[in-house]
A and B are shown apart, each in its own frame.
Chain A
Amino acid sequence: SAVISQKSSRDICQRGTSLTIQCQVDSQVTMMFWYRQQPGQSLTLIATANQGSEATYESGFVIDKFPISRPNLTFSTLTVSNLSPEDSSIYLCSVTPPDLPTYEQYFGPGTRLTVT
């Protein structure tokens, strides 16, 4: 298994600003993912964070709005840019340890973003 931490469990931001969320893992992992969970909804995959290359975004999500960095095998950041109230959600990162299939994911505690 892997222990995942996300810096700041809760953030309140003003519209038009940006928020960067960090995800730190206690061991090297192959795959890291970012999800969004809108209020009362399920989780939706935003992108797969690829180490050393650009993230792979899902339909409906673009790099300009959700830039992602993954400088090494234990760390990734998700930025939510030009915030609007519609961006109020919980953002979660997850990881897949080496040698496991992609569907075996461990989730971080999530960051609850409120945009005012």
Chain B
Amino acid sequence: SQQGEEDPQALSIQEGENATMNCSYKTSINNLQWYRQNSGRGLVHLILIRSNEREKHSGRLRVTLDTSKKSSSLLITASRAADTASYFCATVKNRDDKIIFGKGTRLHILP
């Protein structure tokens, strides 16, 4: 299966610190995406990185992709209470293929 696996499963940090979450996957991919889910509700798309890209930024988010290691990381800088959520990586093997979600990292920002 190409399912991504995030680590850690859960992460608690102080507000203002940086949070790093990692994702590993098993097969070659077209792209990798990160999503956020607040309190078991709908998913919010954060960022998409294509297989030929190594790094991408969006506001306080930085995503890296290492296709040789089949891994990606999501860095959230200067964390805020509102960043408390579950974060999922999701891989797509080919352009019109299904999205395969990882199991997620539960991030908790402490005041």
B-binding residues in A (CB < 8 A): 4, 9, 37, 41-45, 58, 90, 92, 94, 101-110, 112
Q: How many A-B residue pairs have CB under 8 A?
A: 53
- Please tell me if the beta carbons of A110 and B99 are within 8 angstroms of each other in the complex: no
- Please tell me if the beta carbons of A42 and B101 are within 8 angstroms of each other in the complex: yes
- Please tell me if the beta carbons of B98 and A92 are within 8 angstroms of each other in the complex: no
Question: In the assembled complex, which residues on chain B have CB atoms less than 8 Å from the CB atom of A45?
Answer: 98-99
Question: In the assembled complex, which residues on chain A have CB atoms less than 8 Å from the CB atom of B97?
Answer: 102-103
Q: Kindly report which residue of chain B lies nearest to residue A6, judged by CB atoms.
A: B42
Within 8 A of A (CB), among B16-45: 30-31, 33, 35, 40-45
Given contacts A42-B88, A58-B98, A110-B40, 14 further A-B contacts (CB under 8 A): A4-B42, A41-B103, A42-B104, A45-B99, A92-B43, A101-B96, A102-B96, A103-B97, A104-B48, A105-B99, A106-B45, A107-B35, A107-B42, A110-B41
- Please tell me if the beta carbons of A109 and B33 are within 8 angstroms of each other in the complex: no
- Please tell me if the beta carbons of A103 and B41 are within 8 angstroms of each other in the complex: no
**Partner of B103 from A42, A109, A110 at Cβ < 8 Å:** A42
**In whole angstroms, what is the CA distance A101 to B103 when docked?**
23
**In whole angstroms, what is the CA distance A41 to B5 when docked?**
12
A115 to chain B, nearest CB (A): 16
